[in-house]
Amino acid sequence: MLDVELEAAPSMVPWRGSQRWALTYNGTTPGPTLRVRPGDRLRVTLRNRLDSPTNLHVHGLHVSPSANSDNVFVMINPGEEHTYDYLIPADHPSGTFWYHPHHHGTVAEQVAAGMAGVIIIEDELDTLPLIANATERVMLLSDPRIGTTSQVLQWSMMGMMQGRFGDGVLVNAVPQPALTVPTGTMERWRILNASASRYYPLRLDGARWWQISSDGGRLASPVNATGLVLAPGERAEVLVAVDQATTVALTAAAWQTTTGMGGMGGASNQPSGATETILTVIGTGPDTTTPTVGGALNNVDSLADAHVDGTRDFTFAMGGMMGGGMGGMAFTINGRSFDPERIDIEAALGTVEDWTVTNTTPMAHPFHLHVWPFQIMETSDRRTPITGWKDVVDVPAGGWVRLRVAFRDFAGRTLYHCHILDHEDLGMMGIINVT
């Protein structure tokens, strides 16, 4: 059992040689990394020393959404505390998960100000020599919106429409860190996109890299690539080999998914068109050739041939004006904005469903479902779906994604939503009840 206390509070944190004000867990951003094993019990007592309500969500964990488990309907007011108690199933996949606040209406400002941390689940797969001999690094990518006062939390409606961005990309709160890597060794990076809105189309030119995990655990076999895209909330684990004594950069290119569909000129998922350096890797030592990575990695229980009990359609839309003189835009799924009193869909425990998520807007939206991971069957942009578990999937502008979800193990009420957190706070979210 892992028993931890987290205090949510404003703190001054190091920032490019000086200090800035952030919202933190235990005084740091990111918060502490929590490591557990399948079958473990994780208890977290969260104390709220902020001046707004908060709570805790364990993103990607396949645990109960009820009672004191991953119950996002719990509200912890300023000055209050709550103890979460998560029973991690004995057959839970190992992988990289995370925790962040989920109180509707304050999620974007709290996450963007620094509140996020990594949860690692380890099992026998982590002892495979290929993985165990590699140097592990946890990389939480963020672009926090922090400054010298809480005023930085104020954000315009136009800004929320696009999703808030910070003024620079950080790795574990450090701008452009440099890693020194002996040639001939392997690195293992657990990368999490904890940004409120930013997509990271990552590339590592000049080194070899294999993806070994998606959001919800190890892939069936390593996938050789030169990069991958991480939408907000997504994770990937990669093995990286640096064969030569050279310096290579991990970069995030511009991400433009605007289709030119009318009405929303300028909506995109990137604050600028510039390619940013995320970190540099400095290879040291004699040139070598590290072994090729391949073979079977994991027995992924594929849903491709599962019996499908039903289908559903979800449509992301932005449009119309909200009432109340806000002058804002409505963010909807199937024509409705979030209502905490309404159950949007009912599903039966033990069934398998195919969901088609369609995006009618000129910007990309990452679709996320709590508790039950899914597999991607098909996408409008013909990405080759990898064989692995996902809990966030990018739905391209004007496009669609078809995913398959198995409602296993847990009944209860929880959420699905867009993981651009301003969109979620503005209502692009619904409630699912599994019974």
Which residues lie near ligand C2O (CB under 6 A)?
57, 59, 100, 102, 233, 368, 370, 415, 417, 419
Question: CA dihedral defined by 88, 94, 95, 101, rounded to 10 degrees?
Answer: 0
CB of 107 to Cu ion, least distance (A): 10
- Residue 82 contacts which entry, ligand C2O, Cu ion, none (Cβ below 5-8 A, type-dependent): none
Locate 372 and state its tokens. 């039950």
The nearer residue to Cu ion, 222 or 398, going by C-beta atoms, is 398
- Residue 102 contacts which entry, Cu ion, ligand C2O, none (Cβ below 5-8 A, type-dependent): ligand C2O
- Residue 104 contacts which entry, ligand C2O, Cu ion, none (Cβ below 5-8 A, type-dependent): none
Of 57-65, 169-177, 263-271, 279-287, the segment contacting Cu ion by CB under 5 A is 57-65
CB of 25 to ligand C2O, least distance (A): 15
Contact partners, residue 384, CB within 8 Å, separation at least 6: none
- Residue 145 contacts which entry, Cu ion, ligand C2O, none (Cβ below 5-8 A, type-dependent): none
- Residue 218 contacts which entry, ligand C2O, Cu ion, none (Cβ below 5-8 A, type-dependent): none
CB of 289 to ligand C2O, least distance (A): 39
Check binding of 432 to Cu ion (CB under 5 A): no
Nearest to 69 by CA among 53, 49, 93, 89: 89
- Pairing mode of beta strands 276-284, 374-379: unpaired
CB of 17 to ligand C2O, least distance (A): 31
CB of 74 to Cu ion, least distance (A): 14
CB of 347 to Cu ion, least distance (A): 17
The nearer residue to Cu ion, 370 or 413, going by C-beta atoms, is 370
Q: Nearest residue to ligand C2O, using CB? A: 59
Greatest distance between any 2 Cα atoms in the chain: 66
Among 72, 125, 420, 421, binds Cu ion (CB under 5 A): 420
Which helix (H) or strand (E) covers residue 115, if one does?
none
Check binding of 198 to Cu ion (CB under 5 A): no
Nearest to 422 by CA among 157, 43, 119: 157
Locate 119 and state its tokens. 């949860």
CB of 245 to Cu ion, least distance (A): 41
- Residue 423 contacts which entry, Cu ion, ligand C2O, none (Cβ below 5-8 A, type-dependent): Cu ion
First to last CA, the chain: 29
Q: In what order do the strands lie in the sheet with 34-36?
A: 34-36, 117-121, 95-100, 57-59
8 A C-beta contact, residue 29 and residue 144 = yes
The nearer residue to ligand C2O, 100 or 103, going by C-beta atoms, is 100
Residue showing tokens 């930085």? 152
Check binding of 59 to Cu ion (CB under 5 A): yes
Check binding of 402 to Cu ion (CB under 5 A): no
Check binding of 62 to Cu ion (CB under 5 A): no
CA 378 centroid distance within chain: 21
Size of the site for Cu ion (CB under 5 A): 6
Cα–Cα distance, 423 to 324 (Å, whole number): 18
CB of 370 to ligand C2O, least distance (A): 6
The nearer residue to Cu ion, 251 or 414, going by C-beta atoms, is 414
Check binding of 164 to Cu ion (CB under 5 A): no
133-162: burial string, b at 16+ Cβ within 10 Å, e else: ebeebbbbbbbbbbbeeeebbebeeeebbb
The nearer residue to ligand C2O, 402 or 417, going by C-beta atoms, is 417
Q: What is the DSSP letter of 151?
A: G
- Residue 208 contacts which entry, Cu ion, ligand C2O, none (Cβ below 5-8 A, type-dependent): none
Phi and psi dihedrals of 389, rounded to 5? -85, 140
8 A C-beta contact, residue 380 and residue 416 = no
The nearer residue to ligand C2O, 36 or 264, going by C-beta atoms, is 36
Cα–Cα distance, 150 to 340 (Å, whole number): 28
Of 345-374, binders to Cu ion (CB under 5 A) are 365, 370
The nearer residue to ligand C2O, 100 or 190, going by C-beta atoms, is 100
Locate 337 and state its tokens. 């904005």
**Omega of the bond prior to 30 within 30 degrees of 0, cis?**
yes
Give helix then strand counts, H and E, for the chain: 4, 30
Nearest to 110 by CA among 172, 31, 201: 31
- Residue 417 contacts which entry, Cu ion, ligand C2O, none (Cβ below 5-8 A, type-dependent): ligand C2O
Q: Where does this chain bind Cu ion (CB under 5 A)?
A: 59, 365, 370, 418, 420, 423
